[in-house]
Amino acid sequence: MNQSARWKYLLILTTILLSIIFVIPNFYGESPAIQIMPIKAGEKIDTSILQSIEKVLEKSEIQNSGLILENFRIKVKLKTAEDQLKAKGLIQKALGSQYVVALNLISNSPNWLSNMGALPMYLGLDLRGGVHFLMQVDLSKALEKTTASYLSQFRTALRKEKIGYFDATKNNDVMQIKFKSKVELNKGKNIIRGINNNFVFKEIFVNDEIILKVIISEQTKKSITEFAIKQNLETLNNRVNELGVAEPLIQQQGLDRIVIQLPGVQDTAKAKEILGRTATLEMRMVNEDNFNQDIFKEGNEDQIPVNSEIFPDRFGNNILVRKEVILTGERITNAGPGVDQQSGQSVVSITLDAKGASIFKQVTRENINKRMALLLIEKNVTEVVTAPVIKAEIGAGRVQITGMANTQEATDIALLLRAGSLAAPMEIIEERTVGPSMGKENISRGVQSTLWGFVAIITMMAIYYMVFGVISVITLSVNLFFLVALLSALQATLTLPGLAAIALTLGMAIDSSVLINERIRDEIRNGNTPQASISMGYKMAWGTILDSNITTMIAGLALFMFGSGPIKGFAVVLVLGILTSMFSAIFVSRAIVNYVYGNKRQKSKLSIGEIFKVDNN
């Protein structure tokens, strides 16, 4: 009666074999490596780059233990940390600023294992050191910006078609145009519809005023905000690339948040500076109408024309700039520092995308000899970077911005522009930094806790339950083995609380074995034969094991759903630990017991420790 079906042994053996494959990579350790990526995120890298890297390494006689070409990056495995630093410098020099060369660590496990997807456990930031940022994206600003840009398109289109209107204003994301007549309102409406078909219109006729309200539909709003997040993600990707981090994680969280994890980053100040730059760029026309210079004086704010605003430039001069936004930084595809051939001044050259180029062409054609201002908005402070006079129509989407103080400034601004300006401002609302030495310390703390807890438990079990205790210990070890295999296979993030959860689930997993062993003792105590006791013991314990594990599972799921970061790590391990412990307690321990005792028909005594017989009850 206590013989396991052959398929059960097979299942267990297969599981153990699979687990071995996934556990092995954890024991191989890591090698220093460097990683090469193109500076623009998402750009492919090819064999020609691979060859030039090989050449550099050959020339400087740096030995490598393998070059790996992936879609978006090349990894070079090196022998020593010294070589790593040397190679990084040389390769960076050889490839130039179009490529990012970052330090990394690569697992030493053989390639056939990695190819099977068997990788070491994925360590969280608290275990390997690094920075975690949570950024809040201000989507209302993205909507505002889009509204402003629509409004400027309306004005241009209405003017072009010579449709009379008094003014076009906006309030948050509702635009309002006052027309001169109903006929013109209808014509205007058609034109606006041509710009975007998704607007909702509302006509208001009061006190002789003919007003068209243009409301952005919910659907459009959604796509605007989605686009803004996407744009910001891309920008962050580019910025992180500038930082040269080997394995960054940049991910949207919820509707309006972005998580950034930068393992191994030590210079947090620089990381924050580059990521936290909330600069957005706008090009607008300078208002050069005749007006009283008094408007620049304090207290005269009411005299500023409604369609304009005053901003200071870098020298402290005030400039009156129109509210209409011609272009925003989203349209910039590339930017670089340079020197103007004629004047010798430092300049920044910008390349615009197709739509940006066509808008820019039209605006420059219509505004020759007028001034255009380049505004940089950083943390709600707007500054006029430069406000040059348009000398000619600029068609190809190549723009040169003059007025840089020196090369350094030109480089900085170019970097800022190239890294992309954001579609919506962002702010860091959570920061968690763990130093690299602290990460190592945390690993040893977690491992030590688990190890000594484990040793104590197995000693106790073996003494208390004898052979059945040893079986429980084997079961527990197999459980630990399964858990590590599962964590490696799923590449779930292992955090310090996760390590604590491994220790804790071990403590809890033993409960199943204890329940079974106590039940078997009970049955023997009641005078059952050893074989019947084993069978009943398992049967009776099963219900209890299931109930108690499910309640813990409920807690684990709650932590997973509502927890974040390290707590989620705890929850993942807890839930997986419950699953593996149930599997090992039911299948593995039963199989071992059956293997040891199942064949002996008349086993007179089970080695399950001394059993105290009770006379009554």
Between 254 and 344, whose beta carbon lies closer to another protein? 254
Q: Does 529 bind another protein (CB under 8 A)?
A: no
Tell me if residue 65 falls in helix, strand or coil: strand
User: Minimum Å distance from CB 378 to another protein?
Assistant: 13
Q: Which of 153, 252, 268, 382 binds another protein (CB under 8 A)?
A: 268
For residue 330 the two structure tokens come to 């989203």
3-state secondary structure of 574: helix
Using a 10 angstrom Cβ sphere, with 0-12 exposed, 13-18 middle and 19 or more buried, the burial of residue 158 is buried
**What are the start-end ranges of the E strands in 163-312?**
165-171, 174-179, 199-206, 209-216, 249-253, 257-263, 280-285, 308-312
Residues between 426 and 485 with contacts to another protein, criterion CB under 8 A: 427-435, 437-438, 441-442, 445-446, 448-450, 452-454, 456-457, 460-461, 463-464
CB 157 within 8 A of CB 64: no
Please, which residue, 40 or 432, has the CB nearer to another protein? 432
DSSP string, 206-241: ETTEEEEEEEE-HHHHHHHHHHHHHHHHHHHHHHHH
Cβ atoms of residues 97 and 40 within 8 Å = no
Whole-number Cα distances in Å, 562 to 124, 397, 422, 505, 556? 18, 48, 30, 20, 10
As measured in angstroms, the least distance from the Cβ of 482 to another protein is 18
Stretch that binds another protein, among 19-27, 187-195, 335-343, 608-616 (CB under 8 A): 608-616
Minimum Å distance from CB 594 to another protein?
20
Q: What's the half-sphere exposure (Cβ side, CA atoms, 13 Å) at 203?
A: 12
In sequence order, what DSSP letters do the residues of 513-547 get, joined into one string?
HHHHHHHHHHHHHTT--HHHHHHHHHHHHHHHHHH
Nearest distance from C-beta of residue 483 to another protein, angstroms: 14
Q: Which is closer to another protein, CB of 216 or CB of 524?
A: 524
Identify the residue among 510, 586, 593, 606 touching another protein (CB under 8 A). 510
User: Per CB under 8 A, does 496 bind another protein?
Assistant: yes
Q: Does 381 bind another protein (CB under 8 A)?
A: no
Within 123-182, which residues bind another protein (CB under 8 A)? 126, 133-134, 136
Q: How many residues bind another protein (CB under 8 A)?
A: 86
Specify whether the CB–CB gap between 107 and 119 falls below 8 A. Answer: yes
Q: Which is nearer to another protein, 205 or 562 (CB)?
A: 562
From candidates 130, 244, 356, 497, binder to another protein by CB under 8 A: 497
**Can residue 255 be called a binding residue for another protein (CB under 8 A)?**
no
Type and span of the H or E element at 482: helix 436-490
259, 415, 536, 579: which one binds another protein (CB under 8 A)? 536
Question: Closest approach of Cβ 332 to another protein, in Å?
Answer: 25
617 binds another protein (CB under 8 A): yes
Residue 457 main-chain phi, psi, to 5 deg: -65, -45
Residue 574 touches another protein, criterion: CB under 8 A: yes
We find the least distance from the C-beta atom of residue 272 to another protein, in angstroms, to be 5
Among 17, 206, 269, 306, interactor with another protein by CB under 8 A: 269
138, 378, 383, 511: residue in contact with another protein (rule CB under 8 A): 511
The least distance separating another protein from the CB of residue 276, rounded to whole angstroms, comes to 6
Nearest to 278 by CA among 133, 431, 147, 428: 428
- C-beta of residue 554 within 8 angstroms of C-beta of residue 571: no
Residue 403 or 577: the one with the smaller Cβ distance to another protein is: 577
| Site of tokens 């860091």 | 428
Beta carbon nearer to another protein, 306 or 614: 614
Q: Contacting another protein (CB under 8 A), which of 121, 504, 524, 592? A: 504
Nearest to 587 by CA among 507, 497, 431, 482: 482
Nearer residue to another protein within complex by CB, 172 or 437: 437
Q: Which of 378, 507, 595, 603 touches another protein (CB under 8 A)?
A: 507
Taking the complex as a whole, how short is the minimal distance between the CB of residue 194 and another protein, in angstroms?
Answer: 41
Question: Which run of H or of E encompasses 361?
Answer: helix 354-366
Is 272 a binding residue for another protein by CB under 8 A? The answer is yes
Least distance to another protein, CB of residue 334, Å:
28
What single letter denotes the amino acid at residue 489?
A
Of positions 195, 405, 490, 554, contacts another protein by CB under 8 A: 554
Residue 547 contacts another protein per CB under 8 A? yes
Q: Angle at CA 383, nearest 5°, toward 380 and 387?
A: 145
CB of 134 to another protein, least distance (A): 7
Cβ 391 vs Cβ 364: under 8 Å: no
Q: How far apart are the first and last CA of the chain?
A: 27
Decide: is 405 part of the binding site for another protein (CB under 8 A): no
Q: Under a CB-based contact definition with an 8 Å cutoff, are residues 495 and 127 in contact? A: yes
Does residue 242 touch another protein according to CB under 8 A?
Answer: no
> Between 220 and 580, whose beta carbon lies closer to another protein?
580
Q: Which position among 68, 144, 563, 603 is part of the footprint of another protein (CB under 8 A)?
A: 563
Phi first, then psi, for residue 85 (nearest 5°) are -65, -40
